[in-house]
Amino acid sequence: MLKTFWQYIKQHPVIYGLATFFAIVSSGLTLIPNLIIQRFIDAIVDGALTSENLGIILSIFLISIICIFITDIIWVMTLFGQSYRYQSEMRRKTYKKLLNLRTPFYERFRSGDLMTRMTSDIDYLGDTIGYGFMLIVSNVTWAISILIIMIITTSWKAATVSALPLVLFGYIVYRLWKKIDVLYEDNRDTVAKLSNEVLEMVDGVRVMRAYGKKKLEQTRFEKRTAAVLKKANNLVVYNGAINQIAKLLTGLSTAIGLTYSGYLISQGQMTIGQLIAFQIYLGMLSGAIWGLSDIVLVYQQGNVSFRKIDELLQAEDQLEKNGEETIDAINDIQFNQYMFQYPTNETTTLKQIEFELKRGETLGIVGKTGSGKTTLIRQLLRQYPVSETGTIKINGRFIQEYDMEKLEGLIGYVPQEHILFSKTVGHNIRFGNRHADEIEMAEAIESANFTTDISHMADGLETLIGEKGVSISGGQKQRVSIARALIRKPDLLILDDSLSAVDAKTERAIIDNIRTIRQDKTNIIVTHRLSAVAEADKVLIIDDGAIAEQGSPQELLRSKGWYYTQYMTQQMEVKEDDNI
């Protein structure tokens, strides 16, 4: 951590140089009022104080106080301003990192933990490089300046004797150092786990209510909170111990210094003015030591947070190095004997997948739940590392050769779980293409069969949908997501079971609209309803990770396999619904 901070400080030499310079000036100026007090007392004792001397003394005293005030403002504002800029830079850096990481990373790091790293941990880092730097510069320079001035202007003997308890304090802090580090990390991890629990509770509050589990979850949450409290109390004990030890030893330092100073006065080796100044210096030195004790706590807290942030910045998602090939259009997609196994699984999920999809064609993918349909789509989206068994090619090149950002720019993806932002309907649709005009917006909405729904909303496109789209229905969420993909006008449109929450009539309208507006572009529709792929050019039947059947809908019906059986079953269900 210290090495990283030093590198950052070297990148901003002017700012930290100014802060250090004015901190040192402030420390030096702080000693002037005490010297004035010493001279003032000695002048009174010696009977040498005159009105003229008094005026000079007061003028110097006031000027020094004003200068201290100005220099403190300059260096504190400079230092903390840079601290906040550091926090901002770290948040941008970590946020950019999170945006570029894929699914394997998010399987290892939970949302609550990431939120803690992005908020509290970065705040602590900012405190360390801001408040911690201030403590080091101000208190170290202050303590050294005080000891030097005590030795020069009062008594080196008294200064040395009074400093002995402070050496003992430094040794005790060193012994407690590692224990406090462990406690800080333990406390921080417990808070992160609690954040995860809160996020899960918020997402699942409706299920808890429906199953009457509110009291049970409340009891569990109270237990977790009690565990957090216990760990926090353990940390408080050690923090409090350091503070109390600091108080005890600084008090002991003052007592020893004053006692010995009294002896030196009796021996004629110190004046009354020196004694009073010495007492003030001891108080200032005690304040510096208190500040130095804070350095330990700030450093340990910052060090734990630094490890968490550094772990995040160094984390990888196991994906291949980004390719360099650019791509302007998707004309052909080929899977050749492709196999895939999730990094955390022991069994193969996709087996010998082989098919070709040309531009302008629509591919349907159907099969039982858990058969591997979504896994196949994830390979096209490169959410996981490309397998070494078999190949995926686009336009004749291996998919891993392409720049992922360029490739993603040609794909419109509507996942099973519709991720919507807690803003307006219009904002969520325009997310697909910020530069779309009103005509393109209207076309995308119409194609998603969402025009009537918007007309019934109180504020139309400006209607707030709430967090994760909580204020609109499941079918409306799906159509907002489809409109968001369509407004992008992608070369490849992927609907991954994205019509499950709409009725058959709405599904038919959306499919017909897609066929009309995307005749020269490629589509992949993953679904359980065979009606959604009835007009597809090719359909894959996925069973246990392998292609059990493939062909046009008509060919699959003639073969009377799984597709035929499922088709007849769904047709019977439709007839029963019509009769009802």
For 372-413, what is each residue's pLDDT tens digit?
899 999 999 888 888 889 999 999 999 988 988 899 889 999
**Confidence check: pLDDT of 125 > 70:** yes
Alpha-carbon distance of 553 to 530, in angstroms, equals 9
Residue 15 confidence (pLDDT): 85
Q: How confident is the model at residue 161 (pLDDT cuts 50, 70, 90)?
A: confident
**Confidence check: pLDDT of 232 > 80:** no
Residue 522 confidence (pLDDT): 93
Domain that holds residue 69: 2-314
Same domain, 289 and 401: no
Q: Residue holding tokens 């209607």?
A: 463
Residue 206 confidence (pLDDT): 65
CATH of the domain at 497: 3.40.50.300
Residue 461 half-sphere exposure, CB side, CA atoms within 13 Å?
13
Same domain, 7 and 91: yes
Q: How confident is the model at residue 447 (pLDDT cuts 50, 70, 90)?
A: very high
Q: How confident is the model at residue 251 (pLDDT cuts 50, 70, 90)?
A: confident
Q: Does 327 map to a domain?
A: no
Average pLDDT over residues 286-315: 77
Q: Does 320 map to a domain?
A: no
Same domain, 93 and 198: yes
Residue 552 confidence (pLDDT): 92
Q: Give the burial class of 83: count Cβ atoms within 10 A of its Cβ; 0-12 exposed, 13-18 middle, 19 or more buried.
A: buried
Same domain, 236 and 299: yes
Average pLDDT over residues 255-261: 80
For 11-45, what is each residue's pLDDT tens digit?
888 888 888 888 778 777 777 777 777 677 777 77
Q: Does 436 map to a domain?
A: yes
CATH of the domain at 130: 1.20.1560.10
**Confidence check: pLDDT of 134 > 90:** no
Please report the sign of the dihedral spanned by the C-alpha atoms of residue 296, residue 301, residue 303, residue 306. negative
Q: Does 336 map to a domain?
A: yes
- Per-residue buried b or exposed e for 6-37, using 16+ beta carbons within 10 Å of the residue's own CB: eeebeeeeeebebbbebbbbbbbbbbbbbbbb
Q: Residue holding tokens 């009802």?
A: 580
Question: What distance, in Å, lies between the first and last C-alpha atoms of the chain?
Answer: 70
Q: How confident is the model at residue 210 (pLDDT cuts 50, 70, 90)?
A: low
Q: Does 321 map to a domain?
A: no
**Confidence check: pLDDT of 64 > 60:** yes
Q: Does 38 map to a domain?
A: yes
Same domain, 450 and 489: yes
In this structure, what are the phi and psi dihedrals at residue 54, rounded to the nearest 5 degrees? Answer: -60, -40
Same domain, 369 and 430: yes
For the chain, the domain total comes to 2
Give the pair of three-digit tokens for residue 279: 């007492």
Same domain, 54 and 6: yes
Q: How confident is the model at residue 343 (pLDDT cuts 50, 70, 90)?
A: confident
Residue 577 confidence (pLDDT): 55
Q: Does 488 map to a domain?
A: yes
Same domain, 421 and 531: yes
Least confident of 73-82, 229-238, 424-433, 435-444: 229-238
Q: How far is CA 116 from CA 125, 140, 191, 316, 468, in A?
A: 13, 32, 8, 19, 21
Task: Determine what percent of the chain falls in helix, strand and coil, rounding each to the nearest 5.
Answer: 70, 10, 20
Instruction: State which amino acid sits at residue 490.
Output: P
The last residue of a domain, from among 285, 314, 343: 314
Same domain, 564 and 491: yes
Spatial strand order of the sheet with 332-340 comes to 350-358, 332-340, 391-394, 397-398
Helix (H, G, I), strand (E, B), or coil: what is residue 12?
coil
Give the pair of three-digit tokens for residue 571: 């047709």
Same domain, 79 and 50: yes
Residue 67 confidence (pLDDT): 86
Alpha-carbon distance of 543 to 380, in angstroms, equals 19
Q: Residue holding tokens 């002017």?
A: 14
Q: How confident is the model at residue 339 (pLDDT cuts 50, 70, 90)?
A: very high
Q: Does 182 map to a domain?
A: yes
Same domain, 289 and 362: no
pLDDT averaged over every residue in the chain: 82
Instruction: State which amino acid sits at residue 344.
Output: T
Average pLDDT over residues 159-178: 74
Same domain, 537 and 493: yes
Average pLDDT over residues 551-558: 91
Average pLDDT over residues 473-484: 89
